[in-house]
Amino acid sequence: MADKSSERTVLGSRFLGILLEKRKNGTFGEILSDWKWILQYSKRYRRSVAVYAFFGILSTSLSLLSAVAGKYTIDIITGYQTSKLALVLAVMIGSAFLSLGLSSLTSYVCTRISLRITTDIQAEIFSSVLDANWTAVNRFSSGDLLNRFQNDISVVSSNAISWLPDIGIGVYSFLATFFVIWHYDHVMALLALVSAPFLLFSSRRILGKLHRYNRELKKISSDLTTCEAEAFYNLDTVKSMGLTERFGAEFRSRQEVFRKASLDCSMFTIRARAVLSLLGSAVQMTAFCYCLYLLWSGKIVYGTMTLFLSQGSRLSSTFQKLVSTVPAFLTSSVSAHRIRELQELEKEPHLGCGDLSEEDKTHGLSVCAEDLHFSYSEHEIFSDVCFRANPGEIVALIGPSGEGKTTMLRLLLGLISPDRGSMYLKTGDGRKLPANADLRACFSYVPQGNTMLSGTIAENLRMGKADASDEELEQALRLACAWEFVSQLPEGMNSSMGERGRGFSEGQAQRIAIARAIVRNAPILLLDEATSALDADTEKQVLQNIMFRNPAQTCIVTTHRPSVLHLCSRAFLIRAGALQELSGDEVVRAAENIAAV
């Protein structure tokens, strides 16, 4: 992390100092590259962005016109020149209303484009993440992915529209306001010009400390949210282990920390606003005194004095807005860089399905591995492994936890690729198709754990086949031994399931997950501890139903249960990076060893 004490400030802004430092050390090019990426989205809506900029400049011009008309209105009233009063009032009121209308229209245009850019980026990044290499995606935590997907994209989308136009509008507003004041009095214009950076210099330290307060408050708020989420996500564990009071006390403790931090931040904000208000009042008082002198000496009239005071304040405000675009520039580049990291993730291999036909799928496919080597972060999982599962077989992968059973299934699915050797599907006529993303259409997969989504049972089942009929769903539920309890529900297959199958037992959720795989009706079925919550009789019936329905289906199961092994054609033991096929007697002994454990 950079040493804060070494950071330069330019025009009272640390962010300007950062920009110049990055230009010196050569990293400024990265920022420009990130902004080039942002501006590609701006170009898609360049007409709307141009309209936004035009409305902004027009709104600023009308505000100045209203201010000048207000000056003449006061001059007319104080000078009793009532003949032009109606015209000047009409100009002042009309320009004020038009400015307000344009401002509202500009906000609408900005919001509309921002939403479209947000959805565009989100759709592209969502697709990029889904199509990214499994190992590459898993380097990011789910919280980090969501933060980039939501917060960073929101920052980029808003600045993609407004950053450049806001600079143009700000420069125009600053120059126009300055020259309006200059037209009436040079000294007053220079006084207003100097007061702008003075206020910025004075407020910099206060705003910096306020930023640190807010950053710390967000961290504490995140800790509190984490405590809430973990308690709700693991509610069953919390309740079953009698941890409700402990979690309640922990939550109250974090609430107290958050309360104190909020109060400290609030008190500092109040004091900071008071100080800034005093500084602003001092600047305004100086300008007011000078205006009184001009008025007393007869150099200006009341209307001009009002114009000076209002537009002098506007000049300071516009200057601060211009300088504030620098942190927005840096923040957007950081967010863009974080999003680009997701967009540029290594993609999954798409090698196609070759000339695989429906007839090939009907006759069945073999799953094969030859001389396969695979490591996770230099930790060897498989070394010189060979494996084969044929149509009509139930093949078991067994072994201690953490030895690579699930990893083998990921290799089969093409989620990860072997370091050496090959993993492929083999057709009945001997053609070899390397495992890749496109071949996943040949697999039905039931992973470990509860994989149900919130929605109806039917909606969950149709994840396997979107156009499946009710008859197909019912048949799948019967084969998975789930129809008996589903048919007893008030709304049957249209009954709702909570998140992660809430409202159903683990065994019921597992059977619905198996039914979902059956609906897919792929030539290869992968069951990763998918029957662990079923009793032995139900487990046996489910596996027999699956193979009876499609005798040519290749079924691969990972299991710790001896009851499954008795149903398998063959079994492979995974241990210490090796894959050993077990003979009939060895399968029995393995089953007995598992049962003993």
- What's the average pLDDT block by block, 10 residues per block, for the chain (597 residues)? 46 49 53 78 78 80 77 69 66 73 74 79 84 80 72 78 75 80 77 62 57 65 69 65 76 86 78 65 70 74 72 69 64 79 82 75 85 81 86 84 81 85 86 85 81 82 85 90 88 82 81 88 85 78 82 84 76 81 69 58
**Given the structure tokens 């949210």, which residue do they identify?**
225
pLDDT of residue 84: 66
Specify whether the CB–CB gap between 556 and 390 falls below 8 A: no
DSSP tag of 579: E
Q: How do strand 570-575 and strand 578-582 relate by DSSP bridges?
A: antiparallel
CA–CA distance, 572 with 566 (Å, rounded to integer): 13
**Alpha helices by DSSP H, 234-347:** 235-240, 244-296, 302-343
pLDDT of residue 26: 43
Burial class (CB within 10 angstroms; exposed 0-12, middle 13-18, buried 19+) of 234: middle
Mind giving me the DSSP string for 18-68?
HHHHHHHHTTHHHHHHHHHHHHHHHHHTHHHHHHHHHHHHHHHHHHHHHHH
Q: How many residues does the chain have?
A: 597
**Which amino acid is it at 262?**
S
Nearest by Cα to 394 from 245, 537, 572, 234: 572
Distance from C-alpha of 424 to C-alpha of 443, rounded to nearest angstrom: 13
| Run of H or E including 432 | strand 432-434
Cα-Cα-Cα-Cα dihedral sign, residues 378, 383, 384, 388: negative
Predicted local confidence at residue 237, as pLDDT: 61
Query: Which residues, in sequence order, are bridge partners of residue 13?
Result: 10
DSSP three-state, residue 504 = coil
Q: Which of helix, strand or coil describes residue 434? A: strand
Q: How far apart are CA 374 and CA 403, in angstroms?
A: 12
Sign of CA dihedral 553, 557, 561, 562: positive
- Kind plus residue range of the DSSP H or E element containing 172: helix 153-184
What is the model's pLDDT at position 307?
74
Please tell me the predicted confidence (pLDDT) of residue 595: 55
DSSP track, 332-393: HHHHHHHHHHHHTSPBPP----TT--HHHHHH--EEEEEEEEEEETTEEEEEEEEEEE-TT-
**How many whole angstroms from its chain centre is CA 26?**
30
Q: What distances in angstroms separate CA 182 from CA 66, 178, 187, one per listed residue?
A: 17, 6, 8
**For the CA atoms of the chain, what is the radius of gyration?**
35
Two structure tokens written together for 326:
């620098």
As a whole number of angstroms, the distance between CA 449 and CA 561 comes to 16
CA distance 85 to 91: 10
Q: What angle do CA 435, 441, 446 make, to 5 degrees?
A: 90
**573 bridge partner residues:** 398, 580
| Tokens read off for 69 | 């008309």
User: In whole angstroms, what is the distance from residue 155 CA to residue 331 CA?
Assistant: 8
- Beta strands of 118-248 (E only): which ranges? none
Q: Residue 459's closest CA among 519, 503, 506, 508? A: 519
- Cα–Cα distances (Å) from 157 to 55, 116, 153, in that order, read 19, 9, 6
DSSP designation for 121:
H
416 closest CA partner among 69, 135, 13, 228: 135
User: What is the number of other CB atoms lying within 10 angstroms of the CB of residue 136?
Assistant: 16
* CA angle (330 as vertex; 327, 331 as ends), nearest 5: 80
Q: Find out whether 372 and 386 touch, Cβ atoms under 8 Å.
A: yes
* CA end-to-end distance (rounded Å), the chain: 50
pTM of the model: 0.65
